[in-house]
């Protein structure tokens, strides 16, 4: 351990101690989501289950609520629900990462945990350099940096980052998010037999798919995996233009489904689909756990989104991760459902069966609060509109004639109403996780998800169902405890 590393750890610990009380006072501190102890959290990193224990690392700026020279914070869990804060995994202490230990991934090999991440460097002129770095650990808590394992290959700008490593057919592969010299977003793929010598194979997509020539100027945080007979490439492109209800956030996250030739790394794939329909979702990462589930966690935030306007900033912290979701693939579409372990947080249960609402707005007894799981099953909707209002701050609105499902909320920047929408064939079920300042809405058993922060008045705990016609539904509600 270098003295620089020791100093940075000490500084980070001091920042945690200094603001602990203030951070904990924030009414918007969440009950059951991963947050930074102080400062800014962004991407989930190094998500893995190793020797039974789930490890979740995250991009962390301990010193303020903006971006900068990132650390890797670290949580562990036995059940993906209760997370324990661990020693800071990585500090930006070496020359090859002095401006940040940027995003990356974890693998288990030879009884050790390996981390691969991007060393971000900005020289005196502000020019960027990027290095892919490896660190190893015998106990999963203390990491030893092994130095740079991948230098920038030819053909890309220094925007070359976020290595995701995995093993397949006895070989190691790495995908890296990048930009080529024509300012086009790409995913580079590399291969290795020993984890330290890496050969650049080429681009996963884009090179041969004309339609993708201008699909954003940079692709961040790639992830490539096998699921239900297909290959899925998850990526976060920057620079897509809004198209109707699509691509409305500053940056996007989504996926391609297809087949990959692993000798060249080339992927033949279908269209890009967004992973989430909400306001805050970016840079997701997946892992396959010991039960064989492909689990995804995202950052419940987006870069360059007026981040300083989030009201938590005055309490010296910002952002959270999403709940872990299990992925399945049906006809080239990803379905996402919250891990079943979350039911261990359920407290008091309230059931209202065969509720009929007719041209009215109603609340249901005991269906209120700021931390709950809500399950709504719609039996029939004879109406132009059916909606659920959350804490007088956000509304989910369904219009059967067009199939449009819309999430509205009051903007945390100017308090104006803003909305995000998608189109469904029909609406049958909603599984909604509300935390003190977040909503995750799983539609039709995972067909679509809306993930968003919300900052309602503390006193307002109402949930109101409304329609201009007739709706018949069952409503289940569970109070959700603290993790």
Q: From the CB of 282, what's the least distance to ligand FRU, in Å? A: 6
In the complex with ligand FRU, the residue whose CB is nearer, 239 or 303, is 303
For residue 43, indicate whether it is catalytic.
yes
In the complex with ligand FRU, the residue whose CB is nearer, 37 or 456, is 37
Q: Which of 15, 28, 41, 42 binds ligand FRU (CB under 6 A)?
A: 42
First to last CA, the chain: 33
Q: Which of 65, 77, 103, 452 binds ligand FRU (CB under 6 A)?
A: 103
**Residue spans of beta strands (DSSP E) within 262-366:** 266-269, 273-274, 282-288, 294-299, 317-318, 325-330, 333-338, 346-362
# residues contacting ligand FRU (CB under 6 A): 14
Window 205 to 264, contacts with ligand FRU (CB under 6 A) = 220-221
Provide the total of helices (H) and of strands (E) in the chain, helices listed first: 1, 32
Tell me the HSE value of 95 on the side-chain side, using a 13 A CA sphere: 2
Tell me the HSE value of 421 on the side-chain side, using a 13 A CA sphere: 16
Q: Which of 50, 71, 96, 102 binds ligand FRU (CB under 6 A)?
A: 102
Using CA atoms in the order 172, 178, 180, 182, what is the torsion angle rounded to 10 degrees?
Answer: 150
Structure-block tokens of residue 186? 């790409």
Question: Phi/psi at 59 (nearest 5 deg)?
Answer: -70, 125
- Given a contact cutoff of 8 angstroms between Cβ atoms, the answer to whether 483 and 82 are in contact is yes
Whole-Å CA distances, 462 to 390, 391, 443: 6, 5, 21
Q: From the CB of 11, what's the least distance to ligand FRU, in Å? A: 18
Window 401 to 420, contacts with ligand FRU (CB under 6 A) = none
Q: From the CB of 279, what's the least distance to ligand FRU, in Å? A: 16
- Given a contact cutoff of 8 angstroms between Cβ atoms, the answer to whether 161 and 213 are in contact is no
DSSP assignment of 395-435: EEEEETTTTEEEEEEE-TTT--EEEEEEE-S---EEEEEEE
Residue 387 binds ligand FRU, judged by CB under 6 A = no
In the complex with ligand FRU, the residue whose CB is nearer, 156 or 282, is 282
Window 293 to 332, contacts with ligand FRU (CB under 6 A) = 303
Q: Which of 12, 39, 43, 391 binds ligand FRU (CB under 6 A)?
A: 43
In the complex with ligand FRU, the residue whose CB is nearer, 283 or 394, is 283
Write the interaction track for ligand FRU spanning residues 261-300; mark x where CB under 6 A is met and - where it is not: ---------------------xx-----------------
Location of structure tokens 């679509």? 448
Separation of alpha carbons 437 and 370, rounded Å: 8
Q: From the CB of 401, what's the least distance to ligand FRU, in Å? A: 38
- Given a contact cutoff of 8 angstroms between Cβ atoms, the answer to whether 395 and 482 are in contact is no
Q: From the CB of 283, what's the least distance to ligand FRU, in Å? A: 4
Structure-block tokens of residue 450? 């809306």
Residue 293's CB is within 10 A of a number of other CB atoms, namely 18
In the complex with ligand FRU, the residue whose CB is nearer, 220 or 223, is 220
Q: Which of 145, 161, 200, 391 binds ligand FRU (CB under 6 A)?
A: 161
In the complex with ligand FRU, the residue whose CB is nearer, 157 or 429, is 157
Separation of alpha carbons 385 and 327, rounded Å: 30
Q: From the CB of 237, what's the least distance to ligand FRU, in Å? A: 11
Separation of alpha carbons 311 and 382, rounded Å: 39
Q: From the CB of 25, what's the least distance to ligand FRU, in Å? A: 27
What radius of gyration, in Å, describes the C-alpha atoms of the chain?
A: 22
Instruction: Compute CA 226 distance to the chain's CA centroid, rounded to the nearest angstrom.
Output: 19
Q: Among all residues, whose Cβ is closest to ligand FRU? A: 102
Write the interaction track for ligand FRU spanning residues 112-131; mark x where CB under 6 A is met and - where it is not: ------x-------------
In the complex with ligand FRU, the residue whose CB is nearer, 162 or 280, is 162
Q: Choose, from 43, 162, 276, 370, the residue flagged as catalytic.
A: 43
Contact residues: ligand FRU, CB under 6 A = 42-43, 59, 70, 102-103, 118, 161-162, 220-221, 282-283, 303
- Which residues form the catalytic set? 43
């Amino acid at each position: 351990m270098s003295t620089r590393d020791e100093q940075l750890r000490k500084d980070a610990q001091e920042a945690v101690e200094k603001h602990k009380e203030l951070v904990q006072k924030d009414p918007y501190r969440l009950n059951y989501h991963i947050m930074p102890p102080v400062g800014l959290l962004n991407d989930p990193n190094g998500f893995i289950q190793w020797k039974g224990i789930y490890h979740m690392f995250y991009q962390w700026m301990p010193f303020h609520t903006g971006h900068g020279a990132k650390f890797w914070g670290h949580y562990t869990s036995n059940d993906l629900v209760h997370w324990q804060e661990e020693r800071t995994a990585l500090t930006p202490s070496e020359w090859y990462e002095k401006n940040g230990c940027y995003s990356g991934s974890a693998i288990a090999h030879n009884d050790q945990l390996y981390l691969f991440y991007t060393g971000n460097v900005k020289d005196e002129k502000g020019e960027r350099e990027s290095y892919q770095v490896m660190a190893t650990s015998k106990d999963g808590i203390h990491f030893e940096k092994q130095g740079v394992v991948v230098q920038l290959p030819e053909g890309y700008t220094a925007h070359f980052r976020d290595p995701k490593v995995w093993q397949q057919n006895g070989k190691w592969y790495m995908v890296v998010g990048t930009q080529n010299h024509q300012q086009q977003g790409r995913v580079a793929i590399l291969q290795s037999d020993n984890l330290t010598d890496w050969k650049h194979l080429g681009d996963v997509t884009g090179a041969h798919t004309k339609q993708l020539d201008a699909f954003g100027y940079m692709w961040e945080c790639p992830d490539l995996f096998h699921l239900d007979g297909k290959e899925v490439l998850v990526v976060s492109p920057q620079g897509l233009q809004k198209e109707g209800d699509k691509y409305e956030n500053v940056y996007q996250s989504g996926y391609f489904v297809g087949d990959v030739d692993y000798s060249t790394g080339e992927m033949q794939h279908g269209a890009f689909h967004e992973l989430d329909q909400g306001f805050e979702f970016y840079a997701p990462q997946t892992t396959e756990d010991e039960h064989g589930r492909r689990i995804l966690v995202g950052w419940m935030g987006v870069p360059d989104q007026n981040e300083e306007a989030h009201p938590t900033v005055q309490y010296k912290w910002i952002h959270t991760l999403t709940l872990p979701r299990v992925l399945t693939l049906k006809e080239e579409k990803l379905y996402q459902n919250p891990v079943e372990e979350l039911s261990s947080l359920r407290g008091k249960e309230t059931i209202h069966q065969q509720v009929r609402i007719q041209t009215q707005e109603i609340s249901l007894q005991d269906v209120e609060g700021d931390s709950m799981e809500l399950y709504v099953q719609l039996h029939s909707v004879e109406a132009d509109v059916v909606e659920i209002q959350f804490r007088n701050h956000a509304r989910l609105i369904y219009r059967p004639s067009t199939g449009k499902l819309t999430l509205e909320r009051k903007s945390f920047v100017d308090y104006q109403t803003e909305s995000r929408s998608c189109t469904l064939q029909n609406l049958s079920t909603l599984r909604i996780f509300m935390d003190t300042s977040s909503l995750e809405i799983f539609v039709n058993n995972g067909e679509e998800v809306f993930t968003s922060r919300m900052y309602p008045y503390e006193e307002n705990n109402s949930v109101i169902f409304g329609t201009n016609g007739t709706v018949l539904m069952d409503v289940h509600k569970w109070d959700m405890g603290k993790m």
